[in-house]
Structure 1
Amino acid sequence: MAQSKPQNVFAPWNDPQEKPLIRFQNVTKRFGTFTAIDNLTLDIYRREFFALLGPSGCGKTTMMRMLAGFETPTEGTILIDGVDVGPIPPNKRAVNMMFQSYALFPHLTVEDNIAFGLRRDKTDRSSIADRVSEMLRLTRLEKFAKRKPHQISGGQRQRVALARSLAKAPKLLLLDEPLGALDRKLREQTQFELMDIQEKTGTTFVIVTHDQEEAMTVASRVAVMDHGKVIQVDTPAGIYETPNSVYVADFIGDVNIIRGKAHPADGGLIRIHYAEGAEPILATPTQPVAAGQDVAFAIRPEKIVVAWEPDHSRANHARGKIIDIAYLGNISTYHLELPSGQKVSAQMTNARRLARRDFTWDDEVWLSWSDTAGVVLQD
């Protein structure tokens, strides 16, 4: 039987020969005595869908505004395609920005909104018509071309704004919370549309969001920020499965954090003593840990198995009492209390109908997980 060829994985950040499209070199931005961006160095590559993720005030919007040219660095350099863009005004940069409000012209039709930037640049008529037609097809708006913004839905307005931003074929498109005004279901649908359009055009997208699910869905890589610093840059899977700090583990998704002292065990494992009288947690560290060192063990709820009996194929077992249940349709989250008083969450897929499920409030159950199910963090 012929073997299928392995798919090419898009990961230019792992190729030392690849030159980044965007490079922040030791960039600091101050507003008076407040430091919004603190000595930031970061590379973003061509055709990436890159997400800046963090809480309000972490500096992600300031980074985007500096890329667009609306703010200038206090110190350091920003390069786009190898050129220092510090002296280049916003309208001369090969960068476009799509705002959360969409900023469509209410008196213009969909096609005229898309054509606006091209007409302002005095592009010839036939080229404008061809480009607008291409953008209408790309965003599936052909039948809405003659309508005005108030005559189409919020999701369609979002696509008009995207088409207008892409019409001038920028090297870089900046998206500032672009889906914040949409309801949850439409937002999820539009995330996949954005990914599809980005892949078809090959344009580099940089999105600012505080919505971790959005960042994890659309991005090739995510930069998690806090207080003007990038704490970790990695793929969504890397951020979720191997966070480099308690901050990142806690910020992305649900997680249980158990703190204790580490002691060496056989086979390169460690035992984490977290409560008097409790069986220590057996874990596999990813970096050296000194005997007696304070560590945090981070484990996602879905990595914990809940059962009436301990699962002896797994290295760790603990008794737990169910104190609350959150039924979310496809999954149920169990909030449990260990004999030590430690509270943990476990998640299970609802593969069976509600009437046939086993556990309820106040049940005494066993929790089991493997030695590699969690991450040992030192901070």
Structure 2
Amino acid sequence: MSDPAPAAPGPAVFEPWNDPAKRPLIQFQNVTKRFGDFTAIDNLTIDIYEREFFALLGPSGCGKTTLMRMLAGFETPTEGYILLDGRDIGAVPPNKRAVNMMFQSYALFPHLSVRDNIAFGLKREGMPKDQIDARVEEMLRLVQLQKFAARKPHQISGGQRQRVALARSLAKAPKLLLLDEPLGALDAKLRTQTQFELMEIQEKTETTFVIVTHDQEEAMTVASRVAVMDHGRMVQVDTPARIYELPNCAYVADFIGEVNLVEGNATAHHEDGKVVIHWAEGAPPIVGTPMQPIADGTRCTFAIRPEKVNITKEHPEGKANIMRGRILDIAYLGNLSTYHVQLPTGQIIKAEESNRRRISRRPFTWEDEVWLSWSESAGVVLTE
């Protein structure tokens, strides 16, 4: 019998930030930006790589738009350097950079057709007409708007206008495309659909995208890496999965998605690396697994996502963390329900369950006494 054929290799994982041999496309080196006494960006150093879809995520006023404006050339750093493909671009004007920007408003010319909107920048650069025509056709195919090429912006939908703006931004083949809240004007269902279209176009063109958004779901959907920002600093930069599952501090855990946060004092189990968190008088302690060793008495925050909390009518067996409470409220979201359970201490813990049964057959309702439980590794123990 012949040996079995070797298994086909899986798809290559795109993680240039973990490859020391990869040279970054964009480098922020100790960049600070001040407006008078206000520091918008505080001593930032970060690398962004070619073909990345990099998301700047944070609340209003965190500095994400200022970062984007510095990349575009509309603002200059007060201190530090910004390098694009190894070249300091601090003194390079916006129109001389290999960078394009797509605004939330799309900024289409209302009197020009879809075709002429896409061609506008190419004509300004003096590209020969036959090359312009070929490039515009390529962009129309990319965004699937060939049938709408002769229409004016007011004659197409919001999602189609968004694709025209994207095609116009990509027509000049920039090394870097900046997207400022690009889907903010779309309704929720169209926004979700357009997120996947945006990802597909980015993969086809292999252009580096940097997106500014305050929409967590959008950032988690489209980005290869997410930078969570606060007061001019990048608090955590990582893949969406690690940002969600392994936040490095309570701010990130609380900002991304739903989470239960319980503060307490840790007692270390040195032999197995686990910690016992004493968080309220008379309440059973929480057993957790920290990401790094924690000294006895350390003040910490235990963070656990609602979908990792089990909710049952009967006392569960074999769990390290078991608590009794009463259902205070229920958030019904169609495919799932979130139960707000009040413990005897007054602390409210959220538990999430998939709605696999019809509503009349679901086991829990308001005021029910229930048990909550989770494993020792279900949450994260944070010291910041």
Q: Give unpaired runs (5+ residues) of structure 2.
A: none
Give the distance between the partners of 1:284 and 1:71, measured in 2 at CA.
44
Aligned-partner SS, 2:120: helix
Tell me how far 1:87 sits from its aligned partner: 1.3
Tell me how far 1:210 sits from its aligned partner: 0.5
Counterpart for residue 227 of structure 1:
231
Counterpart for residue 135 of structure 1:
139
Counterpart for residue 240 of structure 2:
236
Tell me how far 1:22 sits from its aligned partner: 0.3
Q: Give unpaired runs (5+ residues) of structure 1.
A: none
1:306 to 290, 311, 320: 311
Aligned-partner SS, 2:34: strand
Contact 2:29 2:82 in 1 (8 A): yes
Give the distance between the partners of 1:184 and 1:170, measured in 2 at CA.
29
Tell me how far 1:314 sits from its aligned partner: 2.8
Give the superposed CA RMSD.
0.9
Tell me how far 1:4 sits from its aligned partner: 3.5
Counterpart for residue 24 of structure 2:
20
Aligned-partner SS, 1:107: coil
Percent identity between the two aligned chains: 72
Give the distance between the partners of 2:254 and 2:278, measured in 1 at CA.
21
Counterpart for residue 41 of structure 2:
37
Over residues 285-310 of structure 1, what are the superposed CA-to-partner deviations in whole Å (9 max), with x where a residue is unaligned?
A: 11111111111000000000101123
User: Which one-letter code corresponds to 2:340 in the other structure?
Assistant: H
Aligned-partner SS, 2:291: coil
Does residue 96 (structure 1) correspond to residue 100 (structure 2)? The answer is yes
Give the distance between the partners of 1:119 and 1:80, measured in 2 at CA.
25
Aligned-partner SS, 2:20: coil
Give the distance between the partners of 1:80 and 1:314, measured in 2 at CA.
52
Contact 1:174 1:207 in 2 (8 A): yes
Aligned-partner SS, 1:231: strand
2:298 to 293, 297, 306: 293
1:118 to 122, 131, 146: 122
User: Which one-letter code corresponds to 1:179 in the other structure?
Assistant: L
How many matched pairs?
Answer: 379
Aligned-partner SS, 1:267: coil
Contact 2:273 2:293 in 1 (8 A): no
Tell me how far 1:279 sits from its aligned partner: 1.2
User: Which one-letter code corresponds to 2:112 in the other structure?
Assistant: L
Give the distance between the partners of 1:328 and 1:313, measured in 2 at CA.
30
User: Which one-letter code corresponds to 2:197 in the other structure?
Assistant: E
User: Which one-letter code corresponds to 1:308 in the other structure?
Assistant: K
- TM normalised by structure 2 equals 0.97
Over residues 194-240 of structure 1, what are the superposed CA-to-partner deviations in whole Å (9 max), with x where a residue is unaligned?
A: 00000000000000000111000100000000000110000000100
- TM normalised by structure 1 equals 0.99
Give the distance between the partners of 2:245 and 2:92, measured in 1 at CA.
40
Contact 1:310 1:368 in 2 (8 A): no
4+ residue runs over 3 A deviation: none
Does residue 357 (structure 1) correspond to residue 362 (structure 2)? The answer is yes
Q: Within 5 Å, which residues of 2 pair with 1:63-74?
A: 63-74=67-78
